[in-house]
Amino acid sequence: MNRRREDLKENLRRRGLFLRSMIANPREVGAVWPTSRWAVRDLLEMGDLARARTVVEFGVGTGVYTEEVLKQLHPEGTFLAFEIDPALASAVGARLKDPRLRVINDSAENVEDYLEGAKADYIVSSVPFTSLPADVRRSLLEAARNALAPDGQMLILQYSTAVLPYLQSTFPKIQRRFSPLNIPPAFLFACSAAVLADGARSVEEAPLEGSVEKIPYVLASLVLGALILLLLLGRRSISRR
């Protein structure tokens, strides 16, 4: 019972930290709560992290992706995780002690400085590309493409498809899928740096398996989201009176 209460407290503390970061830097954070574990798994499934030796994360937040990547990463792998918010970076660095992980409090635009000549097999990102200033978005995507190994992939989660034109102008091959088990539901992209033989560019759908079985969970998460929203709105109108 005590353990459960401790876990709940820790979870709320992380969400509080994330919300504070969102209020201070809305364009950089771009979400009110962390990604769900289901959506994180749906995204990582688009790659094959077990084959990776070098993985990079753009935008650690509270570390939901970081934890899952560590579960899947090879025992001798290296994992560089970037977060510009110092409070979020130091909380994740203190919580996830793993010799493969280095949490870096710097913009992911500087990823190549930290790779020291190595290339990344995967870059996992949930930075909100469409709300960032255009020059930052451009330099993040360029830095990612330059940091990837020739057969490497950038796995991206976004809350809309508005990012697609920017991805298309950076990566020759893109697979996309929809992940319903998140609030709000998420759009996932696996972008390959490899140039296609004929110089062509492609965007393919990679549907999620078992989507139909997940519908009850989707409905439940939507109802829960609506209840939380109503509760927050209700509290605001009471405090205004």
Ligand X SMILES: C[S@@+](CC[C@H](N)C(=O)[O-])C[C@H]1O[C@@H](n2cnc3c(N)ncnc32)[C@H](O)[C@@H]1O
* 34 counts as binding ligand X under rule CB under 6 A: yes
Q: What is the closest distance, in whole angstroms, from the C-beta atom of residue 153 to ligand X in the complex?
A: 17
Residues in 11-30 that interact with ligand X by CB under 6 A = 21, 28-30
**Total residues in contact with ligand X, by rule CB under 6 A:** 26
CA 39/CA 156 separation, integer angstroms: 11
Q: What is the closest distance, in whole angstroms, from the C-beta atom of residue 83 to ligand X in the complex?
A: 5
What is the greatest pairwise CA distance in the chain? 66
Q: Give 186's strand partners.
A: 179
Q: Which segment (76-84, 113-121, 144-152, 184-192) binds ligand X by CB under 6 A? A: 76-84
184, 19, 7, 38: which is closest to 88 by C-alpha?
Answer: 19
* 84 counts as binding ligand X under rule CB under 6 A: yes
Quickly count: other Cβ atoms within 10 Å of residue 102's Cβ.
13
Residues in 138-167 that interact with ligand X by CB under 6 A = 140
Q: What is the closest distance, in whole angstroms, from the C-beta atom of residue 222 to ligand X in the complex?
A: 19
Alpha-helical segments (H) within the chain: 2-24, 26-29, 37-44, 64-72, 86-95, 111-115, 134-147, 164-168, 215-240
- Of residues 52, 73, 88, 174, which one binds ligand X by CB under 6 A? 88
* 36 counts as binding ligand X under rule CB under 6 A: no
Distances (CA, A) of 144 to 55, 124, 180, 192: 11, 10, 26, 11
- Of residues 56, 70, 108, 155, which one binds ligand X by CB under 6 A? 108
Q: What is the closest distance, in whole angstroms, from the C-beta atom of residue 108 to ligand X in the complex?
A: 4
* 61 counts as binding ligand X under rule CB under 6 A: yes
* 45 counts as binding ligand X under rule CB under 6 A: no
Contact partners, residue 104, CB within 8 Å, separation at least 6: 80, 81, 82, 83, 89, 114
How many residues comprise the chain?
Answer: 241
Q: What is the closest distance, in whole angstroms, from the C-beta atom of residue 91 to ligand X in the complex?
A: 11
In the chain, how many H helices and how many E strands? 9, 8
Q: Given the rule CB under 6 A, which residues bind ligand X?
A: 21, 28-31, 34-35, 58-62, 64-65, 82-85, 88, 107-109, 126-128, 140
